[in-house]
Structure 1
Amino acid sequence: MCRWLAYSGGPLRPSTLVLDAQNSIVAQSLNSSLGAEPVNGDGFGLGWYPSGGTRDDTPAIFHSTEPAWNDANLRELSTAIESPMFFAHVRAATHPPIQQTNCHPFRHEHWMFMHNGAIDEFPTIKRDLTMAVDPALYPYIQGTTDSEVLFYLALSYGLRDDPISAVAAAIRKVEEIGHAHDIRFPMQGTLAVADGKTIWAFRYSTQHRTRSLFHSVDIPTLLEMYPDIERFKIFDRRAHLVVSEPLNDLPGVFLEVPESTVVVLDGSGYHHEAFLDDEHEVERSGEPALHG
C-alpha cells in the first residue's frame, strides 16, 4: 500500500536515506520486497523539522504526485536540507484520486502523521468517521484519504496531550463504526506521529496481522557489529530509524517491531509499549500474515 521511514538524530540530509541507501525509499517505490504492492508510484512526501528546532516549530512539507523515482525536485531538496527529524513516504493509493492533498505526511500545527495500510471499506464508513472529528478541526481536512481522517480523529481525541491514548481512541472509533457496519477487520496499518521532539510509531491491525515495521539498532551497537563499513560512520550516536522495511540486507541492523506495539523514539532512544493488545482480541483467521 505504501512505504515510509521516520528519522530522528543529529542533523542529516534526507537523501542519505531517501536516495542513497541500498534499499532506499526511492528504491522501494520501484520494487518493495515486503510491500502489499511492489510498486508505490502514486506520489510521495517529505516532511522535516528545522535543524535545531523546538517542539513549537512547524514542519516543512513537500508533496508531489510524481513517482518518487522520477522527481528531480526530490533529489534537489533532499540533498540541500539537513534536519534532525524527518518523515518520508511513498504512496500506493488505496482509493483515488492521485493529488497532492492525499500525499503523506499530513501536518497540523507542529504535528506530522503518516500511515501505511487502510481502513477497510472506508467509503462505506467515511461519513460516520468524519462526523466524529472535532468540528473545529474538520475544516483543516484537505484531501480524501482514510489516513488524513484518522489523523484528525487522533487530534480530536487529544493527540496534543497524550499521543498514545489519542491514537488508541481514534482506532477504537474506527473499529466501533466498522463493526457496526459488519466490517470484520476495519483497521490495518502502521502509523507514525511526531511533534518535533518525539516520534511515536504504531503497528496495529484489528486482525493482528499488521503491515511490516522495523527499527534500526542504536549506532554504538551498529558500529560494533560492522566497524569496517564507512557509510555507517556518518550517523551520530543519536541516530535512529523506524521503517516499513529494512534499508539494507545486513543481518541485525533492523529489528522487527512486534505486533500491537508502539515504539516511542526520543532523545534517550527506543521504548516499546504494548498497544491495544489486550482490549482488542479478535478471532484469528487461517490466512497468512500480511506484508506491506
Structure 2
Amino acid sequence: MCRWLAYTGSPIAMEKLIYEPEHSLIDQSLHARYGDETVNGDGFGVGYYADYGVSPAVFKDTKPAWGDRNLRELARHVRSPLFMAHVRASSGTAIQQTNCHPFRYGTWIWMHNGVISEFSRLKRDLVMAIAPELYPSIEGSTDSEVMFFLALTLGLQEDPPGAVERMAGLVERTGWSHNVEHPVQMSLSTSNGERLWSFRYSTERHSRSLFHSTNMESLRKLHPEVFELLEISDEARVVVSEPLRDLPGLWLEVPESTYTVVKPGMFEMHPFTPKPPK
C-alpha cells in the first residue's frame, strides 16, 4: 500500500497539502488509516509543474518522508499549479530511488497505489509488450513503472483514459493466461501538466481508496475556519488516497471502476472498463 495526493488549481506552496492538514501526507506516511499497512516509509517523491503544459520537475528519495529535511524545505518554497506527492510502501520490489514515484516521461508524470498480482511471473510478458523505443527509458523494477510505460505504448499521450483501459485490460489478460485470478489493483493518477486524470479499479472490484475534494466555494462557506485564508481558487481540486481532514462535505469518494479528469474550470467523472488491445 502507498499513499498519494495530487493537486491542480491556482499555484500554492506544496507544504499546504503535504505537511499542514490534520491528516497530511506526512502524517499518512506514519499513520495511514485506509489500507493494509499503517506505515509508508519505503521512500517518497514529488513531481511538480512550474506552469501548465511544461516538463515537470521530480524529486524523490528512499528515506521515509517524515524525516527528510530537503522535502520540507522544497515543499515550503515551491509554489505550483499542479503537483503530485507519493509515499511508498513496497509491494516487494527494491527500495531504491528509481522505484520511488512519481515516474516521468517527457511532460507526463504518473504515480500508483496498488499492485500487479504475482508480478514476477507476469513481468517478462508485460515488459515485452512495451514499445522498443520506450523501453530504454525504464529506470526501475516496479510494476507501477511497467504500467506507466505500457500506457504510453498504448496511447497515453493521445487518449489517456483509453490507454489506461487498454493497459489494465492487457495486464488482466496476461494474468489470466498465467492463472492469476485478480491481476490488477490500482488507484493511480497521471498528468501532462494541463489535465489531471485519476483512476480507481481492481479486477476483484474491491479497489484501494480514492477521494476528490468538493467545490472550493462551497467549502469556504461550510468551513471558513479552514479555507477562508488559503489562497486557493474556486476551481482547485485535490485527489487523495485518503482524506486530509475529517470534515463533513469535504470529500467525495470516487466509486469503483471510475476515472476522473480535472482541468481549470472542468471536473468530470466517467466509468472505467478495461479493454485489452486488439
TM-score normalised by the chain length of structure 1:
0.92
Give the alignment of 1:229-248 within 5 angstroms: 229-230=226-227, 233-248=230-245
| Cα separation, 2, equivalents of 1:63 and 1:233 | 27
Q: Hey, what does 2:22 align to over in structure 1?
A: 22
- What is the Cα deviation at residue 118 of structure 1? 0.2
Seen in structure 2, the aligned counterparts of structure 1 residues 202 and 230 have a Cα distance that, compared at 3 Å, is: closer
Contact 2:220 2:227 in 1 (8 A): no
| Cα separation, 1, equivalents of 2:226 and 2:135 | 49
Contact 2:258 2:270 in 1 (8 A): yes
Q: Hey, what does 2:110 align to over in structure 1?
A: 113
| Cα separation, 2, equivalents of 1:72 and 1:36 | 28
Contact 2:197 2:259 in 1 (8 A): yes
- What is the Cα deviation at residue 250 of structure 1? 0.7
Contact 2:236 2:264 in 1 (8 A): no
1:170 aligns with 2:137: no
| Cα separation, 2, equivalents of 1:110 and 1:274 | 26
Contact 2:48 2:56 in 1 (8 A): yes
The RMSD of aligned alpha carbons is 1.3
Contact 2:52 2:82 in 1 (8 A): no
| Cα separation, 1, equivalents of 2:227 and 2:93 | 43
| Cα separation, 2, equivalents of 1:64 and 1:13 | 20
What one-letter code is carried by the residue in structure 1 that aligns with 2:251?
Answer: F
What one-letter code is carried by the residue in structure 1 that aligns with 2:43?
Answer: G
| Cα separation, 1, equivalents of 2:226 and 2:87 | 28
2:206 corresponds to which of 193, 206, 209:
209
1:69 aligns with 2:66: yes
What one-letter code is carried by the residue in structure 1 that aligns with 2:178?
Answer: H
Seen in structure 2, the aligned counterparts of structure 1 residues 228 and 80 have a Cα distance that, compared at 3 Å, is: closer
| Cα separation, 2, equivalents of 1:230 and 1:169 | 39
| Cα separation, 1, equivalents of 2:68 and 2:225 | 33
Contact 1:12 1:82 in 2 (8 A): yes
- What is the Cα deviation at residue 232 of structure 1? 5.7
Seen in structure 2, the aligned counterparts of structure 1 residues 60 and 5 have a Cα distance that, compared at 3 Å, is: same
Q: Hey, what does 1:265 align to over in structure 2?
A: 262
- What is the Cα deviation at residue 231 of structure 1? 5.6
Give the alignment of 1:134-149 within 5 angstroms: 134-149=131-146
- What is the Cα deviation at residue 224 of structure 1? 1.8
Give the alignment of 1:120-131 within 5 angstroms: 120-131=117-128
Aligned residues: 276
Seen in structure 2, the aligned counterparts of structure 1 residues 196 and 230 have a Cα distance that, compared at 3 Å, is: closer
Seen in structure 2, the aligned counterparts of structure 1 residues 230 and 130 have a Cα distance that, compared at 3 Å, is: closer
Greater Cα offset, 148-157 or 237-246: 237-246
1:3 aligns with 2:3: yes
| Cα separation, 2, equivalents of 1:113 and 1:45 | 11
| Cα separation, 1, equivalents of 2:216 and 2:124 | 45
Would you identify which runs of 4 or more consecutive aligned residues in structure 1 move more than 2 Å? Answer: 227-234
Give the match's secondary structure for 2:59: strand
What one-letter code is carried by the residue in structure 2 that aligns with 1:29?
Answer: S
User: What do the CA deviations read for 1:234-255 (whole angstroms, capped 9, x no partner)?
Assistant: 3221211000000001111011
Contact 1:223 1:232 in 2 (8 A): no
| Cα separation, 2, equivalents of 1:114 and 1:161 | 19
Seen in structure 2, the aligned counterparts of structure 1 residues 218 and 61 have a Cα distance that, compared at 3 Å, is: same
Structure 2, unmatched stretches of 5+, are none
Q: Hey, what does 1:99 align to over in structure 2?
A: 96
What one-letter code is carried by the residue in structure 1 that aligns with 2:135?
Answer: Y
Give the match's secondary structure for 1:234: coil
Structure 1, unmatched stretches of 5+, are 281-292
TM-score normalised by the chain length of structure 2:
0.97
| Cα separation, 2, equivalents of 1:47 and 1:249 | 26
- What is the Cα deviation at residue 228 of structure 1? 3.6
User: What do the CA deviations read for 1:112-139 (whole angstroms, capped 9, x no partner)?
Assistant: 0000000000000000000000010001
